[in-house]
Amino acid sequence: MKIVILDGYTANPGDLSWDGLRELGELTVYDRTAPEELLSRANGAEVLLTNKVIIDASSMAALPDLRYIGVLATGYNVVDIVEAHRRCIIVTNIPAYSTMSVAQMVMAHLLNITNQVAFHAEAVRQGDWQQSLDFSFTKAPLIELDGLTFGIVGLGNIGGQVALMAQSMGMKVMAVSSKSEEVLSQLGICRAKNYEQLFSESDVVSLHCPLTDDTRHLVNRERLALMKPTAILINTGRGPLLDEQAVADALAAGQIYATGVDVLTEEPPCKGSPLITAPRCYITPHIAWASSAARRRLIDIATSNVAAFLRGEALNCI
């Protein structure tokens, strides 16, 4: 059984092991694969694992031995699922491996904005405390979260965990969700009537919905105009959920207070992004998923998926 990993570096830059997959067949691991390298590297492979390398209909047609595609992520838009099904190629993904890590990053962005820990620590390093006339000093507003409203779009695994963390800090949680009123009530979450209520009443808005035609640019100029000037926007979902220029303009105009994002529409932002130079915008490079614990779970689940396929069983099939 020939197994090829097309772009294994982000999941395992060298601190973890692929040995579990190696025990299942002849394994070849590439750190990165350019589009023009795909066919030569995947030639003869029965099992192909990919994170961001696109496997479309033409690629499948050129790889007659291919029986299985494992996506090393939760989202599977890099694979033409319809064509895979037509060719009886099994496609699997890795669900729920990064829930705690992504939820933690949401809170990291929120606390960075409200407490400015790194900013004040650097000020101390630069000598500001030594020069202070008082026993303490602040160089940015400090915001208490207790009693504020945390708005969530999407209450899946990650959104649900974020809700629990927000509640643990005394915040009231409001959500746009497909879950029933009864379920939300049991969770102590208020259902927003619509996006407009959530954006206008929330002190923090965090996005945890999938990217679809309906959610692309969910955060647009109209909804930003509804938000409080003290509001904080957080996106650890997908970059195109935001109209990035509209968000940058809202920050520059003081329509909203701050934004924390872990994802951009273009990654890496080769052409730049208006958010990179926007005031009070804090960007991390799509790393919410990438804790060592989450990456270890990803590799373990990927290995279990392939092992199940080889046994003739279905696990995490799309």
Annotated domain spans of the chain = 2-96+292-310, 99-283
Each residue's pLDDT tens digit, 239-259: 999 999 999 999 999 999 999
The residues assigned a catalytic role are 238, 267, 286
Cis status of the peptide bond prior to 240, with omega within 30 of 0: no
pLDDT for 296 = 98
Residue 85 burial (CB count, 10 A): 12
Share of the chain above pLDDT 70, in %: 100
**Segment 44-90, tens digit of pLDDT:** 999 999 999 999 999 999 999 999 999 999 989 899 999 999 999 99
| Lowest-confidence segment of 95-99, 145-149, 179-183, 224-228 by average pLDDT | 179-183
The residue type found at 171 is: M
Average pLDDT over every residue of 199-218: 96
Mean pLDDT across 250-277: 95
Tell me what pLDDT residue 131 has. Answer: 96
Residue 242 tokens read as: 């935001």
At 147, the pLDDT band (50, 70, 90 cuts) reads very high
Give the number of other Cβ atoms within 10 Å of residue 255's Cβ.
18
Q: In CATH terms, is domain 2-96+292-310 a member of 3.20.20.70?
A: no
pLDDT range class, residue 225, cuts 50, 70, 90: very high
Q: What is the pLDDT of residue 314?
A: 87
Overall average pLDDT of the 255-282 stretch: 95
Residue 115, φ and ψ in degrees, nearest 5: -115, -20
Name the packing angle between helices 292-310 and 99-115 (round to 10°). Answer: 160
| Residue whose C-alpha is closest to residue 94's, from 286, 313, 299, 314 | 299
In this model, does residue 272 exceed pLDDT 90? no
**Residue 283 belongs to what H/E stretch?**
strand 281-283
Share of the chain above pLDDT 90, in %: 96
* CATH C-level class of 99-283: alpha beta
What pLDDT was estimated at residue 123?
A: 97
Residue 217, pLDDT score:
98
Alpha helices in the chain (DSSP H): 19-22, 38-42, 57-61, 81-86, 99-115, 117-125, 157-168, 181-186, 195-201, 221-226, 244-253, 292-310
pLDDT of 236 above 90: yes
- The reply to whether the predicted model has a pTM over 0.85 is yes
Residue burial 36-75, b: 16+ Cβ < 10 Å; e: rest: eebeebbeebbbbbbbebebeeebbeebeebbbbbbbbbe
Task: Decide if pLDDT at 270 tops 90.
Answer: no
Mean pLDDT of all residues belonging to the chain: 97
* Within this chain, domains 2-96+292-310 and 99-283 share the same CATH topology: yes
